[in-house]
A and B are shown apart, each in its own frame.
Chain A
Amino acid sequence: MFETGVRQFRLALGMAQGRRLNPRNVERLVEDVLATVAEFGEPGSDAAELVDGPMASPADRLEMTNNSLRRTAVRLAAQSPFYARHFSSAQVDPAKLDVAGLRAIPVTVKADLIERPADFRCTDVPACLATRTTGTTGRPAEVWLSRYEVELWSALGALGSVLRGELRPGDVMQVNLSSRSAVSMHLAVSGCRLSGAGCRPLGIVSPETSLDNLAEGGATILLTVPSYLGELVTAARRAGMGASDFRLRRIVVGGEVLSPSLARAAARTFGVALVDDPYSMTEIVPVTGRPCSQGHIHHDLNLGRTELIDLDTGEPAAPGALGTLVITPYFPYRDCTPVFRYDTRDVARCLPDAPLRCELPGIPATSQILGKADHLLRMPGGEIVTSRQIIEAIEALPASPWPARYRAAACDGRIRLTLPASALAGLDEAEARRHFATAGLDTDLDIVGDDQATSLRHTRSDMHETTFASQPALVGA
């Protein structure tokens, strides 16, 4: 108990002063949380404050943000060749930077990261582990991490997970993510190790193989992407499997749009209360967003700054308007390949300018992610149709076509929607149009063969990794 107090004090002091944290200290705090949970059944009532930071007054929060931004910018100006030029050309003095002056700095886009990755690397830390974006929305970007980051993120992630009861000893987490998602895989494995849970990193293998492992391997947590979850639900239904065949208590997905119809079906099939859909992205780790019961995404205050920028003006999005998330991970949480004002191109809607009434009212929030900015359909009259609207409408079709495969374009004031034939099974074209009209989408439909489905929209579940399980045994070495 005395030692735990000292560790918490060291962590709080490091965070307040913006110095590099000691990952081992955080790991020991994870052990302390596990001991606390073992003794008392749950952490103390102040646990939320330990995870989210104290919900200080707006003035204190602003001061913390200004200090964090300055600290991060000063370091980047000194250590990152890209940002030294970037700040210089924007005529910004990093030491005097504050929230108000942030808009003077142009956003960093993915193309910068893809074209000049070496320029982003800080010169004062050796690189340890490279991770890549999956590349489903274009060329993959590569992000290098230092050993400090690798250790710190694992420890911080595990600390948050055990404090919230998301991971506990005895859990078995099955990870169905692309094996190239090195950071996600690493965080899952090391988070489980620190929490005393088991981890089974399977990759994107055949859904049948995953289902067998889920059912027979006793997994209690499933970590995957929505498109692969759709394939798993379809395969489970086909095999006649239901909630009684699984021990799952949590399903966590991310990286793609999760539709309510798929979430409901997955919860029913696998016997969980709900499907968690937090927000994260390779380029901006360790900054994350947490969903609440009212469908908001609450953005981490402690590890980074999240802005919602109007799609057209580049100014902060007005209440009710769409914007793209621009995120700045702070030092000392991001170390080797930091980004500053990174435009994620993930679109969300600015919430009405009123106090939040959800369970996380102290943490700023946006709507859930509505899709990528480059996939928006701009209709005549200014209406904007998001990927989420289309995916939710398609995945709610009676044929349960998960994951949604489609191509959409604005054409003569209407949405031209190309779908595989199987998606509309059981409906004629008029009924299908009415279905989409009910969802607020005025569509013209093009039907193509199911063999073209995958080419309509790439999903992360397409990055299949083969195994020898379904192939004849090889003879010889």
Chain B
Amino acid sequence: MPVPIFPIPLWEQCLTLFCVIMAGVTLVCAGALTYFKRVRMERPAVGTFNARDVVILLVLIGVLPWVYGWLPVPLVTCLLVLTFGSALYIGYRPMLGPVGIWLGIGLLFGFNIWSSNHVMGTIAGWDLWYAEQSIAVLLSAIAVCNLYVQGGMKLRYVAWLSFGLACYDVVFASYYPLTGRLLARYITHPLTPVVGMRFGEVDYAVGLGDLLAYSLFFLAAYKAYGKRAAAVAAVIIVVMGGFATAFLPFLFNLTNANLDTLIPAQSLFGPAAFVTYLWMSRHYGRERTMAEYLASQDGVTGASQAEQVRAPEPASVSPSGVREVAS
């Protein structure tokens, strides 16, 4: 039986992973919030994110890994180029313009594809690749997060999505390790959807899906209830998405012979996010709409007339509660 050889103690690896996760989480949440406050994405004439979209997303999340696993690697790369390219184009065209955005995407992807084929083999090369990789993934996560939240995705839907992802993670990271197999097959290829860094002989990374779930929860909480709710969401992300995820291997001695430990982060974070949403909805009441959020930024309170008619404030919300919601 092979004996795992740890370059550093397990608790140090867990701490390193925690730092990597927190770096990714901090960058993506701060970036998403800054973007949310400063940039208004174009939206279609009709349409807002609803419960059916959550179901469609979960179905896609369930189906796509099988497709990725079945397709040849070059085709997977093409699909990822298309996916990342769309996200970056939608997200950053308002800031960079049509020429700037294509130039930026071209440089980012070009360097990514080049580095995937030429700089591996040394730790410095790995780190260069990871750094470049992380930029693409972080920027994409920030764009997609804003696309959903500015598109009307409510905290309620984020909570349900997180809960669904938790179920998915339990099945496909623990019982049927599809996620691990996919990662093992695709790592080192361009646009691998992870943010990470190599220390010594070990890779420490957090997946794009996890970062997206965290940033969605954080940003949707901010939009729905303001700064305090965002702070509560941040605590949940740090504790369940960061600390618990990173130290789970240490607590339960989860390792394997290859030192590859895939932790189903969403199975920890999802239920916590869902319970937190339930608490927030009871404590703060009805979520703010985008219109109400924007009005609050202009120093104007209150929703559109239509929204007020459709969704009056719950009777249990006290005046002090209303003040707390408004940011």
Checking B45, B303, B304 against A50 with a beta-carbon cut-off of 8 angstroms, the contacting residue is B45
A1 near B53: Cβ-Cβ < 8 Å? yes
B45 near A5: Cβ-Cβ < 8 Å? no
B305 near A40: Cβ-Cβ < 8 Å? no
In the complex, per-residue mask of A35-61: 1 if CB is within 8 Å of any chain B CB, else 0 = 111111111111101100000000000
A69 to chain B, nearest CB (A): 28
B152 near A: Cβ within 8 Å?
A: yes
Q: How far is the CA of A32 from the CA of B43 in the complex (A)?
A: 14
Name which of B26-34, B89-97, B176-184, B306-314 contacts chain A.
B306-314
Q: How far is the CA of A32 from the CA of B152 in the complex (A)?
A: 12
A297 near B: Cβ within 8 Å?
A: no
B43 near A44: Cβ-Cβ < 8 Å? yes
Q: List 9 A-B contacts (CB under 8 A).
A: A1-B44, A36-B152, A39-B289, A39-B291, A40-B289, A41-B303, A44-B43, A45-B45, A163-B46
Residues of B within 8 A of A1 (CB): 44, 47-50, 53, 151-152
B304 near A29: Cβ-Cβ < 8 Å? no
A4 near B: Cβ within 8 Å?
A: yes
B52 near A: Cβ within 8 Å?
A: yes
A10 to chain B, nearest CB (A): 13
Nearest residue, chain B, Cβ from A47: B45
Residues of B within 8 A of A170 (CB): 305-306, 309
Q: How far is the CA of A3 from the CA of B46 in the complex (A)?
A: 11
Max count, chain B CB within 10 A of own CB: residue among A33, A37, A50 = A37
Residues of A within 8 A of B294 (CB): 41
A75 near B: Cβ within 8 Å?
A: no
Checking A41, A44, A168 against B46 with a beta-carbon cut-off of 8 angstroms, the contacting residue is A44
B48 near A35: Cβ-Cβ < 8 Å? yes
A169 near B310: Cβ-Cβ < 8 Å? yes
A374 to chain B, nearest CB (A): 43
A34 near B: Cβ within 8 Å?
A: yes
Q: How far is the CA of A474 from the CA of B43 in the complex (A)?
A: 60
Residues of A within 8 A of B307 (CB): 38-39, 41
B315 near A: Cβ within 8 Å?
A: no
Q: How far is the CA of A46 from the CA of B56 in the complex (A)?
A: 25
Nearest residue, chain B, Cβ from A43: B45
For chain B, the bracket of interface size reads 20 to 34
B306 to chain A, nearest CB (A): 5
A2 near B: Cβ within 8 Å?
A: yes
Residues of A within 8 A of B289 (CB): 38-41
A8 near B: Cβ within 8 Å?
A: yes
Q: How far is the CA of A33 from the CA of B152 in the complex (A)?
A: 13
A180 to chain B, nearest CB (A): 33
B290 near A: Cβ within 8 Å?
A: yes
In the complex, per-residue mask of B44-77: 1 if CB is within 8 Å of any chain A CB, else 0 = 1111111011001000000000000000000000
Q: How far is the CA of A47 from the CA of B42 in the complex (A)?
A: 13
Further 11 A-B residue pairs, CB within 8 A, beyond A3-B53, A45-B45: A1-B49, A2-B53, A4-B46, A4-B48, A36-B47, A40-B291, A41-B290, A43-B46, A163-B45, A168-B306, A169-B310
Known contacts A2-B56, A34-B306; is A40 also within 8 Å of B48 by CB?
Answer: yes
Max count, chain B CB within 10 A of own CB: residue among A29, A39, A49 = A39
Checking B46, B56, B151, B290 against A32 with a beta-carbon cut-off of 8 angstroms, the contacting residue is B46
B47 near A32: Cβ-Cβ < 8 Å? yes
A194 to chain B, nearest CB (A): 14
Residues of B within 8 A of A4 (CB): 44, 46-48
In the complex, per-residue mask of B168-180: 1 if CB is within 8 Å of any chain A CB, else 0 = 0000000000000
A residues in contact (CB < 8 Å) with B = 1-5, 8, 29, 32-47, 49-50, 163, 168-170, 196
Max count, chain A CB within 10 A of own CB: residue among B44, B56, B290 = B44
B residues in contact (CB < 8 Å) with A = 42-50, 52-53, 56, 151-152, 289-291, 294-295, 303-307, 309-311
Q: How far is the CA of A170 from the CA of B43 in the complex (A)?
A: 25
Residues of A within 8 A of B290 (CB): 39-41
A38 near B46: Cβ-Cβ < 8 Å? no
A290 to chain B, nearest CB (A): 18
Q: How far is the CA of A33 from the CA of B47 in the complex (A)?
A: 7
B44 near A39: Cβ-Cβ < 8 Å? no
Closest A-B pairs by Cβ, 3 of them: A41-B291, A4-B47, A170-B309
Residues of A within 8 A of B48 (CB): 1, 4, 32, 35-36, 38-40
Q: How far is the CA of A286 from the CA of B309 in the complex (A)?
A: 31
Max count, chain B CB within 10 A of own CB: residue among A8, A32, A41 = A41
Checking A5, A8, A37, A50 against B306 with a beta-carbon cut-off of 8 angstroms, the contacting residue is A37
B45 near A35: Cβ-Cβ < 8 Å? no
Nearest residue, chain A, Cβ from B49: A1
B44 near A38: Cβ-Cβ < 8 Å? no
Residues of A within 8 A of B304 (CB): 37-38, 41-42
A371 to chain B, nearest CB (A): 38
Nearest residue, chain A, Cβ from B307: A38
Residues of B within 8 A of A163 (CB): 45-46
B52 near A3: Cβ-Cβ < 8 Å? yes
Q: How far is the CA of A34 from the CA of B46 in the complex (A)?
A: 9
Residues of B within 8 A of A40 (CB): 43, 48, 152, 289-291
Nearest residue, chain A, Cβ from B304: A41
B309 near A169: Cβ-Cβ < 8 Å? yes
B306 near A169: Cβ-Cβ < 8 Å? yes
B46 near A8: Cβ-Cβ < 8 Å? yes
B191 to chain A, nearest CB (A): 24
Q: How far is the CA of A169 from the CA of B310 in the complex (A)?
A: 8
A36 near B46: Cβ-Cβ < 8 Å? yes
A90 to chain B, nearest CB (A): 41
A393 to chain B, nearest CB (A): 40
Q: How far is the CA of A380 from the CA of B53 in the complex (A)?
A: 70
A312 to chain B, nearest CB (A): 44
B299 to chain A, nearest CB (A): 16
Nearest residue, chain B, Cβ from A29: B46
A15 to chain B, nearest CB (A): 15
Residues of B within 8 A of A169 (CB): 306, 309-310
A50 near B309: Cβ-Cβ < 8 Å? no
Checking A2, A33, A38 against B52 with a beta-carbon cut-off of 8 angstroms, the contacting residue is A2
A40 to chain B, nearest CB (A): 5
Residues of B within 8 A of A44 (CB): 42-47
Q: How far is the CA of A340 from the CA of B306 in the complex (A)?
A: 41
Residues of B within 8 A of A38 (CB): 48, 289, 304, 306-307, 310-311
Residues of A within 8 A of B53 (CB): 1-3
Residues of A within 8 A of B49 (CB): 1
